[in-house]
A and B are shown apart, each in its own frame.
Chain A
């Protein structure tokens, strides 16, 4: 089976800010979850996949197409963007119907598809009300409806569960599962791992515009827990401290930098800090400061699994 998405050294910037950096990635079909904290690059990646943006560098192919401004490709994809905005002076039904008309359907067919999609996402009575009065969840359902109404091969959904109550989340998760079971490919992003985990075991983890990990969620959890993290310490007697730290089990390497800082790499940061707390007063190494340089990575991990 050919890959659904093939990204080759894709780079994307927003002025001076990096959206994606040298991203090389292949995604197979089915349901795939994109996970990462805010600003990790998930939305940028999905905008590239949806054809809203084009890469500044590298190449991206989805369903064999270069997505940006590709009309042939747009027939095969449905995009539910992250932003809440929809036309406030139209009803939910009118929004979906209008977009179906733009997808090339005749008026009656566009209306039929709009009703069917709104039924599917559970937007019932509210569909004939103006969207300006919609709750966040209703807007989310309308956005999802317009993305699936034309039965695309691929649905790209950026944070589709945002703003939905627990029941709504469960319904939309069930809907995506049904779409996947029906043979539709789904790319769905979230900054909460367990949300995506409920949908699919196949995830892609982004961090700071880069691919951090990809694969089954269980494997990624294990990978994250084994990821070495670096801690830097400033002490009165750096050599003595380095010698003591070398003896600790969670420490994999110790290095004394030119400025006298002791750089420690550990595979189990929690255990390292526990043992450090115990030995510091005993050894009288005169520790003045402790800095964890991979704190952000830790927070990513904690956030995702927390």
Chain B
């Protein structure tokens, strides 16, 4: 059976199983949280963010920096380690198939589910923001008066100084052109690359979820926010470069400290494609040569 046919068979067989897995429900809840947060901020917080901020901040800090790597760790690390932990990998390794197809087929199934959920999350975020934008008005400054412990009357004016770029970003109540597309592309690219990385990790590590979490949030979290060229060692740098391809002036206002001089979109995509290909190639090499010792 050819590599392609076996890979497709794995993809088809595992797709419904990944959909129904408990970890997928966890990821789905995380994905639903992002638009809900944006909606809540716009609907219920009078001196909260402007509509464009309600898109940019959750998109950058919740989705791209946390949810994408987290969801990829949860689903990607299970690709091979689940079969090892369940001790079912024996049946697959003793069949006349390319062992690499187990990794690639199962990763494809996981990546497909991730892509659907994350597309829903980014789309939901857009909908949440655009549904509230027409009704949104900058709250009038509010003066609060109170008496302190010495009996003196004090007053404070509550107002938020929102940059003009943000106030003018959505004049028609719609996201600026290209913003949604760039965000979706970066999210999907991140899901594919991170999940491939963690799936490959699972071929040689017994605890890929723990190691993956450590990598995504300790190593990448540190390097991606460290000024200088070390950012280029992280997946996050290339995802952020993809974001910066559209509306860079807005993104800089959101995360100026986090963003180094970005690569071009083409260079970022190339780098991400290389990371993905190397991850899958390395994982395939390991699974093809490794013996998995299972207890009875």
Closest to B9 in A: A101
Contacts A71-B96, A102-B1, A104-B96 given; indicate if A83 touches B296 (C-beta within 8 A): yes
Closest to A72 in B: B96
Contacts A54-B291, A69-B289 given; indicate if A77 touches B94 (C-beta within 8 A): yes
Closest to A107 in B: B9
Residue from A54, A87, A102 in contact with B88 in the complex, judged by beta carbons closer than 8 Å:
A87
Q: Indicate if B225 sits at the interface (CB-CB under 8 A).
A: no
Q: Indicate if B185 sits at the interface (CB-CB under 8 A).
A: no
Contacts A50-B94, A72-B96, A89-B17 given; indicate if A102 touches B289 (C-beta within 8 A): no
Interface positions of B from 80 to 139, Cβ below 8 Å from A: 86-88, 90-99
Residues on A with C-beta less than 8 A from B20 are: 89
Contact B90 A69 (CB under 8 A): no
Q: Nearest chain B CB to A295's CB is how many angstroms away?
A: 25
| Number of A positions contacting B (CB below 8 A) | 29
Contact A99 B95 (CB under 8 A): yes
Q: Nearest chain B CB to A297's CB is how many angstroms away?
A: 23
| Number of B positions contacting A (CB below 8 A) | 27
Q: Indicate if B245 sits at the interface (CB-CB under 8 A).
A: no
Contact A69 B99 (CB under 8 A): yes
Residues on B with C-beta less than 8 A from A72 are: 96
Residue from B94, B97, B289 in contact with A51 in the complex, judged by beta carbons closer than 8 Å:
B94
Interface of A is mostly: loop
Interface positions of A from 60 to 87, Cβ below 8 Å from B: 68-69, 71-72, 74-75, 77, 79, 81-83, 85-87
Q: How far is the CA of A82 from the CA of B296 in the complex (A)?
A: 6
Contact A53 B95 (CB under 8 A): no
Closest to B6 in A: A102
Q: Which residues of B contact A (CB under 8 A)?
A: 1, 6, 9, 13, 17, 20, 86-88, 90-99, 288-289, 291-296
Q: Which residues of A contact B (CB under 8 A)?
A: 14, 43, 50-54, 68-69, 71-72, 74-75, 77, 79, 81-83, 85-87, 89, 98-99, 101-104, 146
Q: Which 8 A-B pairs have the closest CB atoms?
A: A85-B87, A74-B96, A102-B95, A71-B96, A82-B296, A83-B87, A104-B1, A75-B96
